[in-house]
Structure 1
């Protein structure tokens, strides 16, 4: 069932995003007097076609894109009475408008969906730190459980989602991040996170965990156990309350986790309470290499979430129509800007190419968000729509941005770019896109194998 949901969610997302993008081209082309011949969702052999007026609408075999085919003298002979309706005979400004309409339609979709989400009301997670991993970068910076993040680099932070995005952005920029917090006792304090020392492979959605920060509050109680893990083999059970490790009291899960990590392949005495009885056992944490390349211990056990504490962090927020529109515009703009910055940092090498995701990963995210709920799926749709808009505006031949580059040059020079230059650049563009797709698919497969 999970696989079916993933396939359906991915197909729906691609169908909606491609349809919106191509409809942008189609709608503006018609308004500019250009004759549209084919509107296709998908590439390759048509599976279903129907004629409506002058346009052949179709669903094609390869569902990873689509196109709008217009009357064009460069592709076929055009009757004399229809030459004025050919795309290539339009002014540079009209061609720019037609090409630009596709990416703009993707941004418009994101704004409209975000507006609906904000208008319906959202539930944010207050950026209050629930747990700090001992001996982590966050611990060294002075973060304590109960700290509420107020600003990052002077910018207000209203939710944990905003805090995580800021962490990713600042880590990619290799900066020292100034974080203003309100401590549990109500005192304002500043914490300095030196993000320059983070390896570029660690800059992803889990960066907060890498730094040792979490909004989750964990009880010192064993939760999920890996079936063939050290803890399960030692006879420990879900619900066992942690009491001490090598005689040292365990006040929280972070203390237990840090102690286990510090003792790979070293036997330790663990005392737990089960059904009112104290039970003592000796376990030997298995040695693994973590993301930072350190040799650490692991016992194959997860904590128990304090759901009551987490629910207290959930805060409903409602917006009026105008305010919701402003939030939608800001969200779309900030996500677009972050996407561009991350792409540029991949080019400069500041962010690892391993962060690129292909269709397999996107399908996985689609399935996961669909199973979480409608709002999560709509937010995923917005994110991919924005990414599609940004990607298509890049000045790469074969993409919309490449065509914008040609027509802008024509507008400035007063004459078209030569066919030879366009042909050579198209080949370069195809090669670049093919290379990007290969890297993205490689990353997808590596993640699947690694999981």
Structure 2
């Protein structure tokens, strides 16, 4: 629980502070006077003033921050102070200052993805299991142990990349071109026909429904029992089980069940030991269970091993991939929001602080790479959400500025702005209520 709270506070504090720094940097460049920049909210713990007169503050509640500008100069202010007020700036500068916050979040996400690309990540290889009969993958000709190499012409190096490229066609339906590589190394072109799916976090996995399932982890021999059947047969820790009797490419569960069902019977095994195939035979020892049943055991811990690939790019390729992934994720988020509005995607996909905190804790436990990927995704969400044309958000201010442009430079009337702000507040409160409702529904279901 403590790790979850720390990971959540760090994520929210970092991303919101970076958002506010975007506003600050562009406002400073535009000549706007900054009264305060606070890291955190509430009571100020530490403060200092820089040479521009800005107060830099560290506040008690570490859940973000804010930047306070001089909106309007007081009546008795001198000319320099009046020129430094935000509302006295030309429309182009005001637009730039407001847009800088969301843009900063998108830039941060692209930088995180760039760093991860250069660092390199170990990801499951996109090796597919045999698809169930009648699924789109089976009808397209996908076979067991096919490796997915490209989706609609876009190369994929791992299962994570393949899932991302398939999300949009799975949601919208249509025809998808797949390039797969058979176990013998031959490439094949397949065409997957998908029906549009109403995606929901509580619903079934859309890839599984399409018949695209990652190959089960390979059974690998772990620790051995001294004098056990596995040790006597010559098995060693790290051996990969390729076949057992008539069972080929078994899953961990299938191999364990096969051994239990063949007590006292010699089982021919084909194993992979340091890139070399070895054939041997093991006879499971008959062991009585508490229920009066006899099962076979070989005295070995059988572990699951998923084939992994190292996804690593050079600096320029990582930068391009980071920018492209940020743009793709932003557009995908907008499309999902649009489909929620028309009912094609469930509103249960809207998540609130409880779910975000849960994912923050989970990714922090997995490791730094997973946590950084989580930060990038949330940063994109903050950027996209703030660009929505809803009053109270940055996008709502940009909407008012667009109306000002269309009105020939005349500001939006105060009564219209006030009405818009009230509507915006109602929309935001409604979304917050929905997000919290979804959070607690997941907790207590």
Say whether the 8 Å CA contact 1:42–1:65 is kept in structure 2: yes
**CA 1:331–1:48 in structure 2 vs 1: closer, same or farther (change >3 Å)?**
same
Counting only pairs closer than 5 Å after superposition, residues 350-429 of structure 1 correspond to structure 2 as: 350-413=344-407, 414-429=409-424
Deviation at 1:179? 2.3
Say whether the 8 Å CA contact 1:272–1:280 is kept in structure 2: no
Counting only pairs closer than 5 Å after superposition, residues 2-401 of structure 1 correspond to structure 2 as: 3-43=1-41, 45-53=42-50, 54-60=53-59, 64-73=63-72, 79-81=77-79, 82-130=81-129, 132-133=131-132, 138-196=137-195, 198-201=197-200, 206-218=205-217, 252=250, 272-273=261-262, 275-277=284-286, 306-307=304-305, 310=306, 313-401=307-395
2-structure distance, mates of 1:202, 1:138: 22
1-structure distance, mates of 2:111, 2:8: 20
2-structure distance, mates of 1:250, 1:215: 17
Say whether the 8 Å CA contact 1:92–1:408 is kept in structure 2: no
How big is each residue's C-alpha offset from its partner over 1:100-121, in whole Å with a ceiling of 9 and x where there is no partner?
1111111221222222222223
**CA 1:327–1:57 in structure 2 vs 1: closer, same or farther (change >3 Å)?**
same
Listed as ranges, the gaps of 5+ residues in structure 1 are 222-240, 242-247, 257-269, 283-303
Q: 2:444 aligns to what?
A: 449
How big is each residue's C-alpha offset from its partner over 1:399-448, in whole Å with a ceiling of 9 and x where there is no partner?
11111111232234221111111111111111111111111111111222
TM-score by length of 2: 0.76
- Secondary structure of 2:35's counterpart equals strand
1-structure distance, mates of 2:201, 2:354: 21
Q: 1:230 aligns to what?
A: none
Deviation at 1:178? 3.2
2-structure distance, mates of 1:78, 1:352: 55
- Secondary structure of 2:37's counterpart equals strand
- Secondary structure of 1:50's counterpart equals strand
Say whether the 8 Å CA contact 1:273–1:279 is kept in structure 2: no
**CA 1:250–1:216 in structure 2 vs 1: closer, same or farther (change >3 Å)?**
closer
2-structure distance, mates of 1:219, 1:424: 61
1-structure distance, mates of 2:195, 2:287: 46
Count how many residue pairs are aligned between Structure 1 and Structure 2.
390
Listed as ranges, the gaps of 5+ residues in structure 2 are 221-240, 264-283, 292-301
2-structure distance, mates of 1:131, 1:78: 78
Q: Which has the larger radius of gyration?
A: 2
CA RMSD in angstroms, aligned pairs only? 3.7
TM-score by length of 1: 0.76
Q: 1:262 aligns to what?
A: none
